[in-house]
Amino acid sequence: MKIAQKTIKFLLIAAITFFSTVGFASESDKKHDDQNDGGRVNTKEEVEAYILHHIKDSHDFSFWSYTSDEGERKHVGFPLPVIIWSSEGLVTFMSSEFHHNDDGHVIVEKNGLKFAKIHSKIYELEKGATTVSFDETHHATNAHKLLDFSITKSVVGILLIGFLLLFWFSRLAKQYKTKQVPTGFARVLEPLVLYVRDEIARPNIGEKHYRRFTGYLLTVFFFIWVLNLSGLTPLGFNVTGQLAVTGCLAIFTLVIYTVSGNKDYWMHMIWMPGVPVLIRPVLAIIELAGALIIKPFSLLVRLFANISAGHIVVMSLIAIMFTLKESLGVVGATGLSLVLSFFITLIEVLVAFLQAYIFTMLSALFIGMAVADHSEAH
């Protein structure tokens, strides 16, 4: 009965997704499209802009776009809700109202306020302004940024992967009620759980304390890994390449090891025993900076940089197809691009795991230092 319900739910979601995709695709935005070349990405500058646009968060979920025979630019995907905290309070509308415009030319009016989207960021126009004006460095002069709680593509990614993880692992958990050894996909998940517990949590935190933190480490590990992998699919998520997300994860780790640090840990941090008293304050500053700033910063930057760089490299190699067309010929450029991007993607699959492993490993290590009984923790 339950399985039947689940299947129905799945079909429903799939159907909604499909129809909203179609609906969105049928919209044309000929009027507002200022790209007269049909959306081609040929020159180096265009490639760079495209890649930088891709690694940013997006307010639409678009799969691909094309130019129809009538010269209309069409986008296949679906719009996502925009939720912003403006000067007049909460404002919500669908991202389709921007008609895929990303340079501030389409103005959306809601509650008497005007909004424009510039480089994947939503700006609120000053009172009285009707269009966004830019200075010479392409900064908007009469609009300001907002707190943007939109369900962006990254949020969709987090939700999707979150539900997926919950679904997978709660099913694994249920299987143990009836049998000792799980079957099916759960059998693949079990050794991964054991791996995180036995190779990451247990050795780094220690036999006595690891139990308390294993839940967090497991969640973080699978969250990062699956999101990294989904970033390599044509869905094109770049969730773990968003500073906001990696920052959030890094701060969680910081909070956990700061809160659970024992007396020994703080003793070594603030008033290091065994060194001359005069040096102690200096060491305290270094230790505090290390624990409160450098450690989380290294966590957040490492993950962000690796994943963003991976996306940039893969896309750049794909772009070889266009940028080297003239010097290598169509076949040569396409072949080179395919071979290189294939191998880089393979490496990225490894990196996806590696970065999840490193993040979890370092988190476990930092927590382990904070809770160690006879600490050399510094």
Partner 1 sequence: METLLNDFSPGLFVVSTILLLALIALMVKFAWKPILNSLEERESGIENALAAAENARKEMQNLQADNAKLVKEARAERDAMMKDARDVRDNMIAEAKEDAKEVTTKLIENAQASIQQEKQAALAEIKKNVAELSIGIAESVIKKELSNKNDQLELVEGLLKDVTLN
Q: Site residues (CB under 8 A) for partner 1? A: 56-57, 84-85, 121, 146-152, 154-155, 158-159, 162, 165-166, 169-170, 172-174, 176-177, 180, 190, 193-194, 197, 211, 214-216, 218-220, 223, 242-245, 247-249, 251-252
User: Please, what is the minimum distance in Å from the beta carbon of residue 139 to partner 1?
Assistant: 10
Q: Which is nearer to partner 1, 79 or 182 (CB)?
A: 182
- Cβ 218 to partner 1, closest distance in Å? 5
Q: Nearest CA to 120 among 101, 102, 144?
A: 102
CA-closest candidate to residue 211, choices 202, 219, 203, 220: 202
User: How far is Cα 250 from Cα 356, in angstroms, rounded to an integer?
Assistant: 12
| CB closer to partner 1 out of 136 and 376 | 136
DSSP string, 146-165: -EE----HHHHHHHHHHHHH
What minimum distance in Å lies between the beta carbon of 166 and partner 1?
A: 6
Q: Cβ 284 to partner 1, closest distance in Å?
A: 28
> Smaller CB distance to partner 1: residue 300 or 314?
300
Question: What residue type is assigned to position 256 of the chain?
Answer: I
CB burial of 15-40 (b: ≥16 within 10 Å; e: otherwise) equals: eeeeeebeebbeebbeeebeeeeebe
The number of beta carbons lying within 10 Å of the beta carbon of residue 52 is 14
Between the CA of residue 53 and those of 49, 202, 270, 290, what are the distances in Å?
6, 41, 44, 34
Q: Shortest Cβ distance from residue 287 to partner 1 (Å)?
A: 26
Cβ distance to partner 1 smaller for residue 213 or 322: 213
Residue 224 or residue 318: which is nearer to partner 1 going by CB?
Answer: 224
